[in-house]
Amino acid sequence: MCGICGFTGKKDEVILKKMTDSLFHRGPDEEGFYFDDKINLGIRRLSIIDLETGHQPIHNEDKTIWMVFNGEIYNFQELRKDLEKIGHNFYTHHSDGEVLVHLYEEYGIDFLSKLNGMFSIALWDKKNEKLILVRDRMGVKPLFYCFIQNILIFASEIKAILLHPLCNLEADYTAISYYFTFKNIPSPFTAFKNIYSLRPAEYLIFFKGKITKHKWWKIDFSKQLYNNDEEFIKKNIIYLLEDAVRLRMICDVPFGAYLSGGIDSSSVVSLMSRYSSKPIKTFSLGYEDELKNKEADLYYARKISKIYHTEHYEYIMSYKELINDIEDVLTAFDQPFSGTISTYFLTKLIRKHVKVALSGDGSDELFGSYLSHRLAQPMYHFKRLKAKIKKNRLSPQEKLLFSGFQNDFLKGLYEKSKGKDYLWRSLLYVFLDEEKEKLFSEKFKHEIKEIDTLKIIKNHFQDLTAKDPLNRILEFEWNTQFPDQVLAFVDFLSMAHSVEIRSPFLDWRLVEFVATIPGELKIKNGIVKYILKQALVPLLPEEIINRPKEGFVLPIFDWMTDKLKDYILSVLSKDRLHKHNLFNEEFVFDLIEDYYSGNHKNSAKIWNLVCFQVWWEKYF
C-alpha cells in the first residue's frame, strides 16, 4: 500500500519531492523516484509484501518499463510462476509489483484482466513514450489527475496535485453543488477545477500530448443464473469468500481484522481463523455514551472474539474527539464529505498493533441491506397491490414484502415518483434540487452551470444491466455511491493512519458471481441479505446472523441534539457563513431552528452543511 504521484515533462526533482512528501502518511516506510527527460514518478511506500527487495519505482529486465503502484495484487504468486515459465526474469525476491511490469511487457494493456487485487497504477512505457494510469475494478484505490498545458499530473490524493505549480486552487462550484445531494463529490468530478478522478476500472493513456480514457471491466447483472438453486448458490458464496480471505492473508507484516459484531466482519474473522495458527487480532469501536444500539456492537464483537479466540482490542471515543479531529478527517479526503467516518477513529487503535486489517466492506452493497435496497421490491409492487393495501387485504406473503414500512411513507414516495426507480431513489438523498435552489445564494448560483443533479442519477439508471428491481438499485449504487463514498472513506481514513484495509467481499470473482443472483434471494420475505445469511449458518451463531442491522457509523445524529449543539451553532454562525456568502443564510438558520425545535428529519442536512463549512474554511 502506497501513495503515488508524478507528472509528464522535464525532470523536476523539487516539485516531485514536494508532491511525494505530501503523501507520507500513505507510505511512511520509504520513498522512491524515477526521472527521465519525459516523466517524473514518485512513491511513498508502506511495506507489506517483500519488505527487503520490493522497492519502487520498479522496472522490467531492460528498464524500458517503469512503474509505481498503490495497492496489492493478491494472485501475484501464480502470475509470477506463469511468467517465469515463459522466460521472464525477476530481480526482486517476491514483489507483487514486479509482476505488473512483466505482465504488461508480455500482454500489453490486456494484462489488467489477469489481476485479482486493489490497485492504482502509473506505468511508463519508455520505448513508446506512453504513460498509462489504471484504477482497479471496484475503485478501491483512488487516482486523480490534472491535464493542463499538455502536461499530465497525477496522484493518489488531490493534495499532491495541488502542489504542482500548474494547478491553481480553484473551486469547481458545479461539482461542489452535487455534494449537497450525495454527501460527496461524484467522480469523475472533484471539488477543484481541472482536477478529475479516474473512475473504477478505467485506464487513461497519455500519448503524444493527448489523453484517452477506456473502461476495462464492468459489473454485469444481466445474467440471472442457477434457477434459484439456493444450495448451489450458498456453497459458491462460501467457497469464493473463503478463497478471497485466504488470498488477503498473504502478508509479510502483522495483520488483523475489523470486528463490529455484524455478520460481515464476523464471517471474515471466522474464515481467517481457518488459516492462522495464531490468534487473529480484532478491533472494535465503542463510545463513552450509553447508546443501546452502539453498545450492542461491543457485546456481539466480544462474543465472536470469544468463539474464535481472537486477541481483541476496543477503542472507546467521545463526541469531543469528533470535534477535535473533523478538520483532519476532511483533509484526508481533500473534498467536502458528510458520509461515514468511523474508520478514521478505529484505525487510530489498529495502527498501534498491525499494518493490515481485513474488513467486511462491500457485503451490504452486494446482497442488499440499506433503506434504498429494502424499498426496491415494495416500490416495484406498490402499484399492483395498492388497492389491497388500502383495504388491508394483503396475503401473509405480501405483508412480508412490505414489512418494516408505514403505508403512508410508501404511498407518498410512490406518488412523488410515479414508481420510477430513478425518481424515488433520488428522493432519499440529502438536499434535492429544488431545496438547493433555496439553499444557494445568488453568488453560488451564478458560478454553476445548472442545478440538475437528477440528470446525473437518471443517466446512471439508463446504463444499468440489471432487470429486477433490487439488482437495479444495487447496480446503480455500486457504480456511484459505493466507490465515491464507501470505498473513499475506507481508503482515505485508514491510510491517514498508514493502515491497509483488505476487503474479501470485493474479490472480483465473488462480485461477478453475486451479480448473477436474483434480487428475490438477496432480500426475501423482508429478510435483508437473505442468501448470504443462509450461506453463513455453518459459520456463525444464530444470534449474530439474525441480529438487526447496525451500520458502522458514528452516533453523530444522537450527539447533534445536545452534545454537538454549541459546535454546530458556532460552525454555522452568521459570521462564518457570511465570509463566503455561498448560502441563503435565512434558509440555513430556518433549518437549524426547525431542527432544534424538534424536527430531527433535518439531521443529515445540518451535518452536511457543517462538514462543508469546515472543509471550505480549510481550503479557501
Buried b or exposed e, range 482-519, using 16+ CB within 10 angstroms: bbbbbbbbbbbbbbbbbbbbbbbbbbbebbbbbbbbbb
Cβ atoms < 10 Å from Cβ of 183: 22
Domain boundaries 226-367+482-545, corresponding CATH code: 3.40.50.620
Report whether CATH 3.60.20.10 matches the domain 2-215: yes
CB 491 within 8 A of CB 19: no
CB 578 within 8 A of CB 585: yes
Domains 2-215 and 226-367+482-545 share a fold: no
Which pLDDT does position 450 carry in this prediction?
Answer: 84
**Exposure of 205 by Cβ count < 10 A (0-12 exposed, 13-18 middle, 19+ buried)?**
middle
pLDDT digits (tens, 9 = 90+) for 539-559: 999 999 998 877 778 999 999
Q: What is the C-alpha to C-alpha distance for residues 589 and 599, in angstroms, rounded to an integer? A: 14
pTM of the model: 0.96
State how far Cα 194 lies from the chain centre: 23
pLDDT digits (tens, 9 = 90+) for 207-220: 999 999 999 999 99
Which pLDDT does position 252 carry in this prediction?
Answer: 86
**Per-position DSSP letters for 398-454, written without gaps between them:** HHHHHTTS-HHHHHHHHHHHTT-HHHHHHTTSSS-HHHHHHHB-HHHHHHSS---HH
pLDDT digits (tens, 9 = 90+) for 132-166: 999 999 999 999 999 999 999 999 999 999 999 99
* Among 431, 502, 472, CA closest to 221: 472
What are the grid coordinates assigned to 523, written together? Answer: 432480500
* Among 500, 503, 615, CA closest to 26: 500
Q: Which helix (H) or strand (E) holds 575?
A: helix 574-580
CB 463 within 8 A of CB 608: no
* Among 254, 270, 493, 236, CA closest to 360: 270
Beta strands in 149-307 (DSSP E): 151-155, 195-197, 202-207, 210-215, 255-258, 281-287
pLDDT digits (tens, 9 = 90+) for 219-277: 999 987 766 789 999 999 999 999 999 999 998 898 999 999 999 999 999 999 999 98
Low-confidence ranges of the chain (pLDDT < 70): 1, 226-227, 290-293
* Among 348, 263, 320, 270, CA closest to 297: 263
Q: What is the C-alpha to C-alpha distance for residues 486 and 365, in angstroms, rounded to an integer? A: 10
Which pLDDT does position 292 carry in this prediction?
Answer: 67
Question: Helix (H, G, I), strand (E, B), or coil: what is residue 561?
Answer: coil
Cβ atoms < 10 Å from Cβ of 63: 10
Domain ranges of the chain: 2-215, 226-367+482-545, 555-620
pLDDT digits (tens, 9 = 90+) for 426-467: 999 999 999 999 999 999 999 998 889 999 999 999 999 999
pLDDT digits (tens, 9 = 90+) for 119-133: 999 999 999 999 999
Selected catalytic residue, list 2, 5, 146, 611: 2
Q: What is the chain's Cα-based Rg?
A: 24
CB 477 within 8 A of CB 372: yes
**Secondary structure letter of residue 600 according to DSSP:** G
**Exposure of 381 by Cβ count < 10 A (0-12 exposed, 13-18 middle, 19+ buried)?**
middle
Examine the residue annotation and report whether 2 is marked as an active-site residue of this protein. Answer: yes
* Among 149, 160, 197, 139, CA closest to 41: 160
CA distances from 9 to 128, 327, 400 (A): 15, 34, 62
Which pLDDT does position 386 carry in this prediction?
Answer: 80
